[in-house]
Amino acid sequence: MTLVLFAANRDKWREYEASLKNALTQEGVVAQILHLDDAPPPGSVDWIVYAPNSTLKDFTPYTALKGVLNLWAGVEGIEGNRTLTAPLTRMVDGDLTQGMVEWVTGHVLRHHLGMDAQIANPECRWDPVPPPLARDRPVAILGLGALGGACGRALSALGFPVTGWSRSEKAIPGIRSVTGEDGLAAALAAAEIVVVLVPHTRSTEGLIDAARLAQMRRGAVLLNPARGAVIDDDALLDALDRGHLAHATLDTFRTEPLPEGHRFWTHPRITVTPHIASVTRPASAACVIAANIARGERGEPLLHLVDRSEALG
């Protein structure tokens, strides 16, 4: 029998236990699934379903481990763990992607349509300034992976000219793909709305610094649903204070929850959303995990393997 260890907090276990058991049965995997607190002998564990806020940090005792399946898309909390030598997969799931597409599209449209001026209009001003059409509002997406690619396609379908920046060139209909330093500079300079969807790695830590912000157009808007550490907070505040950027909508932060009293909370040009752009939902995520375990048990290559070459730490 395959032994699966669920290494995340008890609340998550309550959310996932039934879905995971059901999904593994559907996949034909005969498995026992236990929570970390049940303390099964580590040497008998085949698979670990993992959340990076788990108390499990030392994988050394798990000598027969076939793989660790991260519940989240972001893996910066585990990929640098040197005690983990088994394969690591991350969450790529249709519902997760859909959530991000909706968050990004919603916030792009908010800024594109200038909705704030109508929502807060205390002087009841009749000010009929129509927004441009989407085709006249260039958007840049930094990161064209599972999430950035889907958001780019959705924005392109709405008519926005989309430029996407990634490590390797992509052929996605409707998206101008750019790479490298020059590609990033061109994407930032062309866009009126910039969406950050790169992972937090050694290469992307502080990516959006003072120099990159200066490359952005005056009056541009920045959306960051990726990871807080990709942005230099002080440089962002400075760019907003000077009016170089018109607004930043931030879903992720260097410290979460965003500390009380942090300037982001009250800055007139910042909107804070509490890391809700896209969440892993048990019903669909359990199917992704079970399908991957089934692949592994059949000796097939795992899906969504993490490239750990740029891992932090």
50-76 exposure pattern, b = at least 16 Cβ within 10 A, e = fewer: bbbebebeebeebeebbbbbbbbbbbb
Residues near ligand NAP (CB under 6 A) are: 73-74, 92, 96, 100, 143-148, 165-168, 197-201, 203-204, 225-227, 251-252, 275, 277-278
Cβ atoms of 185 and 60 closer than 8 Å:
no
Catalytic residue flag (residue 137):
no
Q: Which is nearer to ligand NAP, 5 or 225 (CB)?
A: 225
Nearer to ligand NAP, 99 or 138 (CB): 99
Between 233 and 297, CB nearer to ligand NAP: 233
Looking up tokens 């798990």 gives 62
Give the CA diameter of the chain: 70
CB of 298 to ligand NAP, least distance (A): 24
For ligand NAP, give the closer residue by CB, 96 or 190: 96
Q: How far is the CB of 162 from ligand NAP (least distance, A)?
A: 13
Question: Would you say 5 or 229 has its CB closer to ligand NAP?
Answer: 229
From the list 267, 269, 275, 295, the catalytic residue is: 275
Name the minimum Å distance from CB 255 to ligand NAP. 15
For the CA atoms of 74, 285, 195, 108, the dihedral, rounded to the nearest 10 degrees, stands at -150
With beta carbons less than 8 A apart as the criterion, state whether 105 and 154 touch. Answer: yes
* 3-class secondary-structure state, position 148: helix
CA distances from 265 to 36, 256, 258, 306 (A): 36, 13, 8, 34
CB of 221 to ligand NAP, least distance (A): 17
Catalytic, 227? Answer yes
Question: Which of 137, 153, 227, 247 is an active site residue?
Answer: 227
User: ω before 257 within 30° of 0 (cis)?
Assistant: yes
> Minimum distance between the CB of residue 124 and ligand NAP, rounded to whole angstroms?
36
Angle between helices 94-113 and 146-157 (to 10 degrees): 50
Other CB atoms within 10 A of residue 113 CB: 15
Q: Which residue is nearest to ligand NAP (CB)?
A: 145
Any idea which residues carry the catalytic annotation? 227, 275
